[in-house]
């Protein structure tokens, strides 16, 4: 399983329901990396996302009942799924975990590649990235841009 995130130098990933920085290069990277794929997010993160065509979005819910796909739009669909259903789907299909903090924590043991955009600067926030670095033996910078860089964390030769 793969994951994608962006965090500031002080590990902030959100503040009062918003992303506290503006970085078009980071957003372009997110859109490029997730295009044509299925992403898994929590409800709060889903509400922050812009319209993302050419993706399937699974929204993790506390409900025991899964809701079938709704909001079908050309090349776009959304479904609410329970934790159990998300784990089953993740074993059968490539899913990219895309936040928030609780969703990262739930799936961290299953993540083999974590693409983290490190945003330069310290930001005020109320949601922070959980510790993940000790779970990975290697890292490499795969992209640099004004105000940040993308680091791939992985184990072995992925």
Instruction: Output the six-digit token pair for 116.
Output: 């983290």
How much is the pTM?
A: 0.90
Task: Decide if 131 contacts 145 (C-beta within 8 A).
Answer: no
Hey, what CATH topology would domain 2-53+95-154 get? Dihydrofolate Reductase, subunit A (3.40.430)
Q: How far is CA 60 from CA 65, 82, 87, in A?
A: 11, 6, 10
pLDDT score at 69: 45
Render pLDDT for 46-79 as a digit per residue (tens, 0 to 9): 888 877 888 889 899 876 555 544 444 455 678 7
Is residue 90 over pLDDT 90?
no
Q: What number of helices (H) and strands (E) belong to the chain?
A: 4, 11
Domain boundaries of the chain, sorted by first residue: 2-53+95-154
pLDDT score at 65: 55
């Amino acid at each position: 399983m793969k994951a994608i995130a962006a965090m500031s130098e002080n590990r902030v990933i959100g503040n009062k329901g918003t992303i506290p920085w503006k970085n078009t290069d980071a957003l372009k990277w997110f859109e490029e990396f997730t295009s044509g794929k299925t992403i898994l997010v929590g409800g709060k993160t889903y509400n922050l996302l812009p319209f993302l065509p050419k993706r399937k979005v699974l929204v993790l819910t506390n409900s025991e009942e899964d809701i079938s796909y709704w909001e079908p739009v050309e090349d776009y669909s959304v479904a609410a799924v329970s934790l159990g259903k998300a784990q089953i789907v993740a074993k059968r299909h490539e899913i990219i975990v895309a936040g928030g903090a609780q969703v990262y924590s739930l799936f961290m043991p299953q993540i083999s590649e974590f693409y983290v955009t490190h945003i330069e600067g310290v930001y005020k926030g109320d949601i922070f990235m959980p510790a993940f670095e000790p779970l990975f033996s290697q890292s490499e910078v795969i992209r640099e841009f004004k105000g940040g860089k993308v680091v791939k964390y992985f184990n072995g030769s992925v």
